[in-house]
A and B are shown apart, each in its own frame.
Chain A
Amino acid sequence: MDKQLALEWYRKMALIRRFEEKCAEGYAYAKIGGFLHLYIGQEAVAVGAISALNDDDDIVTHYRDHGHAIARGLDTNSLMAELYGKATGCSKGRGGSMHFADASKHFWGGYALVGAHLPIAVGLAMASQYRGEDRLAMAIFGDGSTNNGGFHESLNMAAVFKLPVIFLIENNLYSMGVALQRDSAISDLYKRAASYGILGEAFDGMDVEATHEATKRAVAHVRAGNGPVLLEAKTYRFRGHSMADPEMYRSKEEVEFWKQKDPIVTWKARCVEAGIATAAEFDEVEAAANREAEESVKFADESPEPELSTLCDNIYANPIGQTDCQLV
């Protein structure tokens, strides 16, 4: 294991965690509104998987998108500002938590309708194939999405056209409050790949290295022109589904059991034990992540609100004459 890489993965995971702890605070102070779905516990999936992609590979994801955006390298200032609804936010304060995006980073957005963004990944992959490019697309989504028509239709079409797309399920065992066994006919979701004649693989999503390796294999398979792959990260979210979740559906013991597998803590322990880097080196990296998260809050707080006069901007890329949108 390369030391620089080990520390970089750690930094990214720690940054996601600290950033989201700041989100929870911001929500408590009503600086952040709307729905807020935290990613805490799942950091290894975003960091392990996205680090196996090229920078110009396309990503679409769902509303639990903070981790994916940070792993892809979106500017944390612009992300926190988005949560604060500010003009400096990555989506200019229009999207909020569920709709992070940065087209320049091939991060084509977080989408809030379960399963509805999978066909968009298919289209991105189609464009790459059409132009003979080497880019692949990755769609990231939860286990709950796999029961939706969008999942079936996307996998089937991607398989038929042999498109370069990786479907990455973050199986955190719950869709809101419904346990996987209660809403899915099979609990090993990667097995659904068989229905489309494509490759499917599951791995330990609490382990950043295992995630990275599995994704690398998938990437090689897809880039070789073999069509799509279905990946299943076995993971867990430590917090409720959203800030509004009373969390009545799972036991404290279960949550504690999974917290023992904390991807950040275990990664550091493993690397230190293997002599890849020292605890002090990890702590230093973590302190930097802390500072970055804190700075993003300051930046967001000090950023301006969007001007009211901009309310109707960007409804169209190409506005024709006077639009219907007028402030009264």
Chain B
Amino acid sequence: MRTITVRQAIQEALREEMRRDENVFLMGEDIAYYGSAYGVTKGFVDEFGEKRVKDTPISETAIIGAATGAALAGLRPIPEIMSINFALQALDQVINHSAKMSYMFGGQMKVPMVLRTPSGWSQLAATHSQTLELLFAYIPGLKVVMPSTPYDHKGLLKSAIRDDDPVIFIEHALIYGAKGEVPEEEYLVPIGKSVVRRPGKDVTVVSYSRMAMLAMEAANDLAAEGIDVEVIDLRTLRPLDMEPVIESVKKTNRVVVAEEGWKTYGIGAEVQSRIYEEAFDYIDAPVRRVAGIEVPAPYNKHLEMAAYPHKANIVAAIREVLK
């Protein structure tokens, strides 16, 4: 099968859905002629024109509010927020409006919008390097997707665009260049389904996005030592599909949850407590969490490297639960 990058996978998903459905359009800061900060929408304005690829002012609240309104009226907007950190300025629109409309108005309305936004870090300092998916995953009414492989990026983004609810689609800036197999033919990956990325019998690692990729690398390294790691990629953070996790725990009895975000109140905390609630009898060692150090991201590269978790942290945690 051919191999493409995460960036190309996202581009293919956008292009295919825009060709398929006239109602789908893009809006965001510098997405047209600049080609977007991470180069994802480069060239789109040439193919689809300014009507469907709109450069907006730097007005996050207006971007998301307008996308919500357009979605109410039956369009399928894909607003891009240049960085998840800037989405904070639009949180009121997302949390108090987009997320609530279907429920609050008794099911009369739908908001088929996909908010695409990159998360990530690399010496961008405290306000530009935050791992904030939790803020969205906390909110009923939103669907929150954060894939790892190119295959999942493409299939999940296509599903998100066809979904009738507001979907927060979070891309990790450090994996845009990561490669993987993606078929030529059309396919969809369902939202709300975790996946066993690598079967194993000794220990389960639960993760998503970039950390799921690192978990795969850790598993491959440990395989050489005869440690058989099962890796589960959550892919969707809300609704959270715990079924493959619970199945896996029943088999391996040992778990590591790995995320980049801060540990306290985090995604890992949620997964960990669900495991205790639903599979307590199967646990042979305390569930370990790998997470970021609880500090605003420092600019200095050594401090930053110390603040974020790496493959070595996953490996160490696996050894710990196997003790």
Contact = CB atoms under 8 A, between A and B. Distances in A.
Given A94-B300, A249-B33, A324-B294, A308 B128 contact: no
A182 B57 CA distance: 8
Interface in B29-85: 29-30, 33-35, 37, 55-61, 85
A153 to B, nearest CB: 11
Interface residues of B, number: 40
B211 to A, nearest CB: 15
A299 B301 CA distance: 18
Contacts of B89: 113, 116, 148-149
A323 B294 contact: yes
Contacts of A323: 294
Query: Would you call the interface of chain A mostly helix, strand, loop, or mixed?
Result: loop
B216 to A, nearest CB: 22
Contact of B123 (A96, A145, A149, A248): A96
Contacts, number: 135
A148 B300 contact: no
A177 B123 CA distance: 23
B33 A306 contact: no
A93 B307 CA distance: 14
Contacts of B293: 311-312, 325-328
25 contacts: A33-B299, A34-B122, A34-B124, A85-B300, A85-B303, A86-B300, A91-B299, A93-B298, A94-B125, A94-B126, A113-B85, A147-B58, A147-B59, A175-B57, A178-B57, A183-B55, A183-B58, A184-B57, A246-B35, A248-B34, A249-B34, A324-B264, A324-B294, A327-B293, A328-B313
A92 to B, nearest CB: 8
A176 B29 contact: yes
B29 A178 contact: yes
B2 interface: no
A305 interface: yes
A115 interface: yes
A147 to B, nearest CB: 4
Given A178-B30, A178-B55, A326-B293, A311 B299 contact: no
A33 B123 contact: yes
Q: Give 7 nearest A-B pairs by CB, closest first.
A: A177-B34, A96-B299, A34-B123, A33-B123, A85-B300, A147-B57, A93-B300
A177 B122 contact: no
Contacts of B88: 113
Contacts of A99: 125-126, 299
A308 B306 contact: yes
A27 to B, nearest CB: 11
Interface in A177-193: 177-178, 182-184
Interface string B292-321: 011110111111001100000100000000
Interface string B15-37: 00000000000000110011101
Contacts of A98: 125, 128
A85 B128 contact: no
Interface centre among A91, A147, A176, A306 (most CB of B within 10 A): A176
